[in-house]
């Protein structure tokens, strides 16, 4: 395919949550104890802002409502830096564990908080742990009714916490009227390889990620989106006791090299916010 058809800019996204919010540690750290944990997200997110300023890029920050309540000035500063603000739920409860009414209440609370803090509409949503699947497609109705224009809440891979392998891989409009932007995968060796970021990006050597992203862009002629969390560049975060080996491996692998790899990624590709890259207004 023609080189000129490759999208020039890709979407950079950050899920703003702290180390103790992640689903992998939910058995060790329950939500009722979050307020007693050592808060790291304010400092680590400000470091992300410094890095983005260094490379002069804009991005989309999907912010957890709990973080917005704990760090309201941080939300205002993210918006003041010119970044897009998105909703990442109020309390990082997976959508698959909620009833429609619970999901609506949780999402609406976060939406109102973010809009009150920034004074701007919030049009993008990302479910915790990409937790919209075949079992809760009603979530798209709720999002559309609340005024969201797009969601990035699905991952077409097989994973123990998320994923519907046969769902669409590229931006598409749902019957409910909302746009869904799945996390990218690269079809190779007869399977879908997850290349959207997070733990996979930390696990793979950077040369592989660069090759996979470049190959995706060349083969698919579709925009690429990347996600990570502020805690992934926080080498000094506390270690959670009692978690399984799998959870600890997923969370801590290569955190010490993440910032360097991220800077390589920012240098090698051109980035902007999700709504701009995917032309959603």
What is the domain range of residue 229?
8-275
Model pTM?
Answer: 0.94
Q: What is the pLDDT of residue 197?
A: 93
**Nearest-5° Cα angle at 4, 149 to 207:** 85
* Residue 1 forms part of a structural domain: no
CA pair distance 45, 232, nearest whole angstrom: 10
Q: What is the pLDDT of residue 247?
A: 84
User: What CATH number should be reported for the domain holding residue 45?
Assistant: 3.20.20.370
Mean pLDDT of each 10-residue bin along the chain, 281 residues long: 76 96 86 91 98 97 98 98 98 95 98 98 96 94 98 81 76 96 86 88 95 94 96 93 84 93 98 97 85
Q: What is the pLDDT of residue 163?
A: 55
CA pair distance 109, 113, nearest whole angstrom: 6
* Residue 135 forms part of a structural domain: yes
Q: What is the pLDDT of residue 1?
A: 43
Q: What is the pLDDT of residue 19?
A: 94
Tell me if 183 sits within 8 A of 196, measured CB to CB: yes
The number of domains in the chain is 1
Tell me if 40 sits within 8 A of 234, measured CB to CB: yes
């Amino acid at each position: 395919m023609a080189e000129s058809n490759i999208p020039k800019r890709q979407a950079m996204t950050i899920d703003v949550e702290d180390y103790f919010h992640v689903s992998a540690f939910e058995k060790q750290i329950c939500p009722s104890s979050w307020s007693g944990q050592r808060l790291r997200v304010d400092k680590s997110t400000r470091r992300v802002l410094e890095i983005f300023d260094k490379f002069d890029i804009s991005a989309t920050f999907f912010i957890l409502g709990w973080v917005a309540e704990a760090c309201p000035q941080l939300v205002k500063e993210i918006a003041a830096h010119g970044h897009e603000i998105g909703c990442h739920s109020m309390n990082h409860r997976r959508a698959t564990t909620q009833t429609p009414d619970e999901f609506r209440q949780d999402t609406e609370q976060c939406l109102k908080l973010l809009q009150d803090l920034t004074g701007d509409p919030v049009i993008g949503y990302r479910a915790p742990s990409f937790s919209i699947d075949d079992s809760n497609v009603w979530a798209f109705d709720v999002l559309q009714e609340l005024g969201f224009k797009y969601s990035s809440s699905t991952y077409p891979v097989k994973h123990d916490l998320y994923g519907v392998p046969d769902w669409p891989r590229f931006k598409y409009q749902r019957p409910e009227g909302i746009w869904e932007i799945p996390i990218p995968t690269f079809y190779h060796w007869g399977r879908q390889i997850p290349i959207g970021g997070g733990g996979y990006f930390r696990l793979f050597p950077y040369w592989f990620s660069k090759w996979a992203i470049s190959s995706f862009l060349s083969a698919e002629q579709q925009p690429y989106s990347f996600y990570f969390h502020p805690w992934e560049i926080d080498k000094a975060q506390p270690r959670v006791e009692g978690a399984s080996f799998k959870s600890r491996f997923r969370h801590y692998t290569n955190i010490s090299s993440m910032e360097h790899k991220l800077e390589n990624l920012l240098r090698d590709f051109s980035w902007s916010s999700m709504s701009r890259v995917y032309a959603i207004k």
